[in-house]
Structure 1
Amino acid sequence: MGKKGVLLVNLGTPDSPEVSDVRTYLDEFLMDERVIDINAFKRTLLVKGIIVPFRSPKTSKLYKEIWDENGSPLLYFSKIQVAMVQEKLGGEYHVELAMRYQNPSIASALDKLKAAMVESIQVIPLFPQYASASTGSVIQKVMELVGKWQTIPPISFINSFHDNELMIDTFAQNAEKYQPESYDQILFSFHGLPERQLKKCDHSGQHCLKKNDCCATLTDVNKFCYSAQCHDTARLIAKRLNIPAEKYSVCFQSRLGKEPWVQPYTSEVLKELAEKGKKRLLVFCPAFVADCLETLYEVSVEYHEEFRALGGEEVQLVASLNDDPKFIEALVAMVKN
């Protein structure tokens, strides 16, 4: 029998922090119809005419702040994750890494699996919570590419793992060294999405954003809702650490444009907490399985500085899953089960 193929896919990173590479990355990322889900003509004008030209130099400077001797932290930790998963799974499996945008590309990774003549392919998008713009985009891209093969092997996808016990334990253990009980408030800051994308995922048409707490509890109606899964992840980590509901907040970062995104926004929560006299905040970013620009700079630098300017003292980031052996166990279990 042939080997079983495994494809781990993360979002992506520029090939370098230089403006030209950042421009190429942003162009591919933002031209994805699932990321900016508007009319193709309008998306092209917006991305190529406004966002990429003006945003690339600024984003390049931010990437240079987190780039180190290992290069992109996201790519560095992703490579380690793949190597560790391969070692744990052994010779019966062939594990490849891909990025949805830029390198290593999904196409190149799939070609390697095809060349290895794997008997099946399991795809794990490395996004704990399902969103059309992340997991959905990966699944669509894989199906488009494999759909052109003459022989299509059995192929399966992990839709989400927002409630994976080993993942929850890893985040909790990463936080324990900071003594969460000593902080004034715990923040669970997730990557943001436009509200319209949440509404599109509500197939009932009767639930999403119909009331303020529509995402507070995971149900059959909202089980594929990104925001509801985020709230559930936060609840499970808080439960694991015995953090009472009143001492933690769920919020969303990385907003783009003026239209409504998933709320509350992290920046507004920081302001509210500062006004209440909160001084020290411990922040989880459970939408990311590896530290990246959004964690290492947006939270650790920008939000820390923003909170101090508001009168607070500290914003402490809880490290992501990175190369933690327990998270590797979680990925291995997903593959085998």
Structure 2
Amino acid sequence: MSKSAKKGILLIQLGTPDTPTTDDVRKYLTEFLMDSRVMDIPYFSRSLLVKGVIVPKRAPRSAATYSTIWSEETGSPLMHYSELQRDMLQLELGDEYHVELAMRYQNPSIESALKKLEVMKLESLRVIPLFPQYASATTGSVIDKVMEIIRCWQYFPALSFVSSYCDDEEMIETFAENGRKHDIDAYDHVLFSYHGLPVRQLGKVDCTGVLKCPDFGCEECKVEKKPYCYLSQCYATTRALVAKLGLNEDQYTLCFQSRLGKTPWIQPYTSDTLHQLAERGVKKLLVFSPAFVADCIETLDEIQVEYANEFKSLGGEEVAMVESLNSHPKWIQVLKRLALNN
């Protein structure tokens, strides 16, 4: 901890189990799914569903999956890359700043990170959720938790949050640069696969107060970036990447992965898209996952293993995953700009 630091930067990622054991995965899933912004149903119903049904079934399977991506040297990929991002950003900002990393769920907790920052009597604190597209279940939950904890402080530094950066030009260029490491023309189709959300959560941030949103989003979402509409920001990210890569409309598809339960989630679903592309005779897919700034279980397993196997079972030949931003120097420059732009 730098004694001269007067400005704090708090990077917050979603979270990861402490170890790939069933017990630790159970703790992680329970904390994650019991967040009312993630599973936005009444507490009693949420508790019965999460603790009585979902977690007991998913924890052993998820633990087995985490074991396949865990490294003996570096542990959780998400934690490894997040720590690299923290350390590289600290070097860029210098001694005037102190950079902390927290996970919204599990460790290091937001509470523990804020305790370290509180004793520094900071002039300012900048919170950067590591989610390019705003959603109440991610960025909203992070801001909610930070405010819950910091309101107990006896002093308040100048506090600011980054709510979204879905079409940041340098971030888009970094994703595109990683994509160009592949021979894009050698693939039959490009997928932009984002983490999904229940449709009802989109309606809740509609400024008109209308709590209904089509499963595929309204037409405005596809052409206009809205401040708190996750779907419109996914489209904005995709438009920027498509322009940067020079793709035609028939060369790519935007879709959504990781749905849970029977309630409608935003569509098209990645799984359904794989089936449709296979029926068209598509054999080779290149996949971007621009909702994640660090490789994690959703990219390393869900896409590279689960979806790849599903596509091959349908007659496809290859699913190649574009690596996430991870420790790319240009991404660290994006974080530096977000940290300095108060």
- Distance between the aligned counterparts of 1:184 and 1:295, measured in 2? 20
- Distance between the aligned counterparts of 1:17 and 1:213, measured in 2? 42
- 2:86 alignment partner, one of 82, 87, 103: 82
- Distance between the aligned counterparts of 2:282 and 2:37, measured in 1? 38
Partner of 2:42: 39
- 1:18 alignment partner, one of 18, 21, 27: 21
- 2:224 alignment partner, one of 215, 218, 224: 218
Conservation of the 8 A alpha-carbon contact between 2:118 and 2:153? no
- Distance between the aligned counterparts of 2:151 and 2:123, measured in 1? 16
- 2:214 alignment partner, one of 200, 204, 209: 209
The question of 1:171 aligning with 2:175 is answered yes
The question of 1:56 aligning with 2:62 is answered no
Aligned alpha-carbon RMSD (Å): 1.3
TM-fit CA distance, 1:150: 1.5
- 2:70 alignment partner, one of 67, 70, 81: 67
Alpha-carbon deviations, 1:119-154, whole Å to 9, x = none?
110000000000000000000000000011111211
TM-fit CA distance, 1:213: 3.0
More deviation, 201-210/3-12: 201-210
- Distance between the aligned counterparts of 1:165 and 1:283, measured in 2? 20
- 1:158 alignment partner, one of 155, 159, 162: 162
Amino-acid identity (%): 56
Partner of 1:240: 244
TM-score for the superposition, normalised by structure 1: 0.97
TM-fit CA distance, 1:297: 0.2
> Helix, strand or coil for the counterpart of 1:15?
coil
Alpha-carbon deviations, 1:244-291, whole Å to 9, x = none?
122110000001001100100000000000000000000000000000
Q: How does 1:130-145 map to 2 (within 5 A)?
A: 130-145=134-149
The question of 1:129 aligning with 2:133 is answered yes
Letter matched to residue 101 of structure 1: Y
- 2:317 alignment partner, one of 310, 313, 318: 313
- Distance between the aligned counterparts of 2:224 and 2:117, measured in 1? 36
- Distance between the aligned counterparts of 2:151 and 2:184, measured in 1? 48
Conservation of the 8 A alpha-carbon contact between 2:199 and 2:213? no
> Helix, strand or coil for the counterpart of 1:203?
coil
TM-fit CA distance, 1:188: 0.3
TM-fit CA distance, 1:181: 2.1
TM-score for the superposition, normalised by structure 2: 0.96
Letter matched to residue 173 of structure 1: E
The number of aligned residues is 335
Conservation of the 8 A alpha-carbon contact between 1:2 and 1:117? no
Letter matched to residue 181 of structure 1: D
- Distance between the aligned counterparts of 1:225 and 1:6, measured in 2? 25
The question of 1:9 aligning with 2:12 is answered yes
Conservation of the 8 A alpha-carbon contact between 1:199 and 1:209? no
Conservation of the 8 A alpha-carbon contact between 2:200 and 2:213? no
Conservation of the 8 A alpha-carbon contact between 2:5 and 2:98? no
- Distance between the aligned counterparts of 1:262 and 1:277, measured in 2? 25
The question of 1:96 aligning with 2:97 is answered no
Conservation of the 8 A alpha-carbon contact between 1:181 and 1:243? no
TM-fit CA distance, 1:173: 0.2
Unaligned runs of 5+ in 2: none
- Distance between the aligned counterparts of 1:97 and 1:174, measured in 2? 25
- Distance between the aligned counterparts of 1:208 and 1:30, measured in 2? 23
Unaligned runs of 5+ in 1: none
